[in-house]
Amino acid sequence: MTRGDFLHREFETLSAQDLGRHQNASWPEQWNYLRGCSTFYARKLGAAMRADVTLDGLRELPFTGKEELRQAQDAKPPFGTYRACAADQIARLHRTSGTTGRALYIANTVSDTGRISTAGGRAFYASELRPSDLVVHCLNYALWTGGVTDHLSLEATGATVIPYGVGNSAQLLDLIPELAVTAISCTPSYPALLEQVLAERKDGRMPRELGLRLGLFGGEAGLDDPSFRNRLEQTWGFKVRNANYGLSEVLSILASQCEETSDLHFHAGDMIFAEIVDPTSGERLPIAEGTAGELVCTHLSKECQPLVRYRTGDILTVTRVDPCICGRATWRFRVTGRTDDMFNVRGVNVFPAAIREVINAFPNVTSGQFRIILRGPGPYDLIELKVEATAELAQPEWPEGARQLETAIRERIGASAAVRLAPTGSLPRTEGKTSWIERCDQ
């Protein structure tokens, strides 16, 4: 792939100043649309809706939370009081996975779906998917947006897309070499299941022999961890790309990584006004190198379910704001956790992604599969972990392996852990999202 290769060069190379001017120019039309069409925000914002609020002035408005959206959908099912378009303009509906609470119904007009595919196409193209590729898409073609919505984003790059979905993993392993598939789109945990299916065949075929050159991943955390990425690349022989970070209720794909960095480029600045705020105080923080906080999104162009200052729950760290070596001028970041996944251990806030990073640093001890056991509502005295041992680690060595993990977690995270090793293959592999937390009443 050559540097300076873009799907939408004019936008992707905009300076921060020019992007800001574009956003400020497009916002008044969206704000006027909200004032005329959104019952939800008319009630929520009251007198503020009569003012000419600027993007900078958004900081004076209250946040919108996911629970508010759930209540709005309960009040006026199925799409909520924040549906701003006419019902006959809705072209497609989805539902969120519900992993962080009761599911939301997501509705979009034809124009909304076009914007989603545009941003998603930028993301996959930045991750090196090209018209010459044949990509198999292995996310669930159901109500969840990861199926058909991401499929259309893959198509927006010009690539040929196979709508495979989930299930029939054994058949997929035959299909990939038969069709000379070059790329796979799936969750980061799915390759582990494919590896297991290959091993069960006992025909000696290795994952890298399938010939894939590109792995496009999303839907789960963990790809910021170099140990996990390296393991995938060494096992499969493909380039690993964190290719589709997004939120269904905001935009299916907001960001992805390019060939030059493991950080995520924010690809949707013409559709989303992004803020980063202190998750406790709500104070707006600058989008500058080193800033860490919660991502808050406001739609700049959305017809069906427009949102203002929506708290995503994702904690980001801004890594760079200068132009990337790839030529894109967009700011870059890493997702370091979620406010709703965070749990407290003796005053220390712990994110599952941080635990995963530690575990993946010990390939001589563990396969990388683990579960966090949370008993009761917390806070907790220690991190209780069930970790799958690597097949090469003899069972008499498990106590020492567990001790190594406990020491590393204490040193890197600052909280005590109790690790119990389990046999290889004892933790379930999944085709969809993997939940790293198991909650128990006691």
Task: State residue 293 phi and psi, 5-degree precision.
Answer: 175, -170
Q: What is the mean pLDDT of residues 44-68?
A: 96
Number of residues in the chain: 442
Categorize the per-residue pLDDT at 98 as very low, low, confident or very high, splitting at 50, 70 and 90: low
pLDDT digits over 100-129, tens only? Answer: 557 899 999 999 999 999 999 999 999 999
Q: Which residues contact 112 (CB under 8 A, 6 or more apart)?
A: 91, 302, 303, 304
Whether the Cβ atoms of residue 369 and residue 384 lie closer than 8 Å to each other: no
What are the b/e assignments for 357-386, b being 16+ CB within 10 Å?
bbbbbbbebbbbbbbbeeeeeeebeebbbb
CATH architecture classification, 343-440:
2-Layer Sandwich (3.30)
pLDDT at 349 over 60: yes
The pLDDT of residue 100: 53
- Per-residue pLDDT tens digits for 358-372: 998 899 999 989 999
What pLDDT, on the 0 to 100 scale, is given for residue 432?
53
pLDDT at residue 322 is higher than 70: yes
Q: Are 289 and 276 in contact (CB under 8 A)?
A: no
SS3 319: strand
The torsion defined by the Cα of 163, 235, 202 and 170, in degrees rounded to 10, comes to: -10
Q: How many CB atoms lie within 10 A of CB 157?
A: 22
pLDDT in tens, 131-180: 999 999 999 998 988 999 999 999 999 999 999 999 899 999 999 999 99
382 vs 432: which has the higher pLDDT: 382
Dig out the tokens for 235 from the structure. 């096992």
Helix (H) or strand (E) holding 348: strand 348-350
* Residues 6 or more apart in contact with residue 184 via CB below 8 angstroms: 135, 136, 138, 176, 212, 214, 215, 216, 238
| Cis ω before 177 (30° cut-off from 0) | no
Put the strands of the sheet holding 272-277 in their side by side order.
245-247, 251-256, 264-266, 332-338, 310-320, 292-299, 272-277, 284-285
Residue owning tokens 């792995």: 215
Which fold does the domain 128-242 belong to in CATH?
A: Rossmann fold (3.40.50)
Where exactly are the structural domains of the chain? 9-115+245-338, 128-242, 343-440
The amino acid sitting at 346 is: R
* Residues 6+ away with beta carbon under 8 Å from 372: 343, 352, 355, 383, 384, 385, 436, 437, 438
Q: Do domains 9-115+245-338 and 128-242 have the same CATH topology?
A: yes
- Position 343 scores a pLDDT of 84
Indicate the pairing of strand 272-277 with strand 292-299: antiparallel
Distance of CA 32 to the CA centre of its chain: 31
* pLDDT surpassing 60 at residue 1: no
Q: pTM of the predicted model, to two decimals?
A: 0.81
How sure is the predictor about 344, in pLDDT bands with cuts at 50, 70 and 90? confident
Topology of domain 9-115+245-338 in CATH is Rossmann fold (3.40.50)
